[in-house]
Amino acid sequence: MTKQKATLLLADGTVFSGTLIGAPGTNGGEICFNTGMTGYQEIYTDPSYTGQIVVTTTSHIGNYGVHPEEVESAAPCVAGIVVNSFSEVFSRLDASGSLQDYLVTAGITGIADIDTRKLVRHLRDAGAMNAIISSDFEGNLEGLKQKLAEVPDMNGLELSSKVCTQEPFFFGDPAAPIKVACLDFGIKTNILRNLASRGVYCKVYPAKTSFAEMEAWKPQGYFLSNGPGDPAVMHYAVETVKEILGTNKPVFGICLGHQLLAEAVGISTYKMHHGHRGLNHPIKNLMTGKSEITSQNHGFNVVREDAEKNTAVEITHVHLNDNTVAGIKLKNKPAFSVQYHPESSPGPHDSRYLFDDFISLITKN
């Protein structure tokens, strides 16, 4: 691969120089880091990363190529990628191609050969901010700063209606005994696989689908998916969740779905300093006293003080690194949610019992 220079510019003026990977061009977004040691294809295709430049903290990226079954959506969703050492050569027999070709086809611009340890330490101290990667502005830092100023702030940004399916679709066995309506805010495919493997026939609806349309299908439960953007501005989704809760049918929310369930019962959300993204986040289940290692990807969270004061809500899980709320359940409704990803693609399988809990709620209901 012929090496071409590229520049990474952060909103606070920090500059990194490296080499271009992926497609030539200029892409901006909110920069964040993921501490996972594997699973880069699943990370890049996760719709929750829409509008974000992802820094991977593991040293080598691209060394096992790409595989058609290891995707969470139809194409990469990231705004850009930042890596230390990039490998165009891959060594997995069943890989379908190189990560480089995959990124070029998707039009994703990235940068390699920079000190990602230094960058991550900077982001941990300075917090989340916008950034831009470019191979077009060599020697023109002022021009790149002007392009960076055009990148929208993630705070107050609604993205789910842009990344979700535009038409309803089915997933699973039509003869399955349980029907669940899945509200797509940027749903990961492995969530649907986990539901289908437990005897669920899913109908996946666009983010702005009305409650009446979903209820007309007569589902036995509702699922609220993960997704990108700021939950505080998704008023349309919050109102739909309130209507769903009125049915007393079981509800399960993951990540953004967790935040929207919280907003629907009066718990506010906030933008985190630099978020939780990785495969090794420790969570404590307050119901069982057991801990689990989890996969996480979120830059927003629910306000713990609001949750503690809400008499209709019980906090079920907490993040052991910073004591933030990682799960809630409603005391008077068959509804619960978690801030992390029990479908764990990639990641550990400690939390997949939550899908079983959802099925049990439906069965009992």
Give the long-range contacts of residues 293-296, CB within 8 A, separation 24 or more: 293/348, 293/350, 294/326, 294/340, 294/341, 294/342, 294/344, 294/347, 294/348, 294/350, 294/351, 295/36, 295/340, 295/341, 295/344, 295/345, 295/346, 295/347, 295/348, 296/339, 296/340, 296/341
What does DSSP assign to residue 143?
Answer: H
Q: Which of 70, 255, 281, 298 is catalytic?
A: 255
Length of the chain: 365
Residues 6 or more apart in contact with residue 190 via CB below 8 angstroms: 42, 72, 343, 344, 345
Q: How far is CA 36 from CA 98, 233, 292, 294, 346, in A?
A: 20, 29, 16, 11, 8
What is the rounded CA–CA span in Å between residue 258 and residue 266? 13
Residue 343 annotated in active site: yes
The position carrying tokens 């990667």 is 133
What is the rounded CA–CA span in Å between residue 29 and residue 76? 14
DSSP three-state, residue 137: coil
CB-hemisphere CA count at 13 Å for 284? 10
Contact 170, 202 (CB under 8 A): yes
What is the rounded CA–CA span in Å between residue 95 and residue 93? 6
Residue 255 annotated in active site: yes
Q: Which of 30, 42, 292, 343 is catalytic?
A: 343
Q: Tokens representing 171? A: 């997933």
Q: Which residues are catalytic?
A: 255, 341, 343
